[in-house]
Structures are given as C-alpha cells and as structure tokens.
Amino acid sequence: MQRSKPSRIALVIAVALAGVLDVAAAPADTPPAAPAGAAPGAGAECKADADCVPAGCCHATSCVPVAEAPDCKEVACTAECRPGTLDCGGRCVCTADGQCTAKLKDEPSP
C-alpha cells in the first residue's frame, strides 16, 4: 500500500519535531554547577539508595540527594537508551561514605 504525499509529509514533520523536542530537553540533563569548593551539606548526602535520584530529567549521568532533585514536570524526554547515562538499567546508589552516585549499566558494582 503506497502512502499519499500528505501522509509522507506528515511523517517527515513528525520526525523533525521529535528531533527538536529532544534537543530542547537536552539542557535538563545538567543540573546547575555547585560553586567551586562547595561542601555537600553537613556530612553525608544519603543513608540508602532511595535517598538518591537522577541529577537531570533526561539521560542523566549523575545523581543527587532527593532534596536536590530537578523539577521534571514539564520536561519531555525521548525513550532512547543513551550509552553512558542512567537510561535502561542504570540507577542511583548511596555509597558507603554517604554520597549519591550513578551506577551505570555497564560499570562494575561500587
């Protein structure tokens, strides 16, 4: 079954729009940088893995304490599995010294 010209144009527009939305969401990956030399709160950031969340809304590469979680209510992300991110199997963990860190799928356990 051949597609009509209008449906091909709609498909091209949809693909282009998806790419634009992905680019528009990209800044949400990176949280604001902490001032140089800033210490993380008063001691430990976490006691358990549940105390840690991704630092960015889309394709995050690091984790932060729940209190510093980004507001992702109005962020649209792609469903793609990007290498080197928490996508598709990565998770946030609390290390033995109480720091939130990213456990990427292809890394060995801390």
> What does the pLDDT average to over 73-89?
91
Q: What percent of the chain stands above pLDDT 70?
A: 56
List Cα–Cα distances, 97 to 34, 43, 54, 100, in angstroms.
Answer: 20, 9, 19, 9
Mean pLDDT lowest for which of 24-33, 44-53, 64-73, 89-98?
A: 24-33
- Looking at the structure of the chain, the number of domains it has is 1
Residue 6, in any domain of the structure: no
Q: Per this entry, what is the length of the chain?
A: 110
Tell me what pLDDT residue 61 has.
94
Structural domain that includes position 64: 46-110
Structure confidence at residue 98 as a pLDDT band (50, 70, 90): very high
Tell me what pLDDT residue 95 has.
96
Residue 12, in any domain of the structure: no
Cβ atoms of 60 and 88 closer than 8 Å: no
Q: 34: which DSSP letter?
A: P
pTM of the predicted protein model:
0.57
Q: How far apart are the first and last CA of the chain?
A: 54
Helix (H, G, I), strand (E, B) or coil at 54: strand
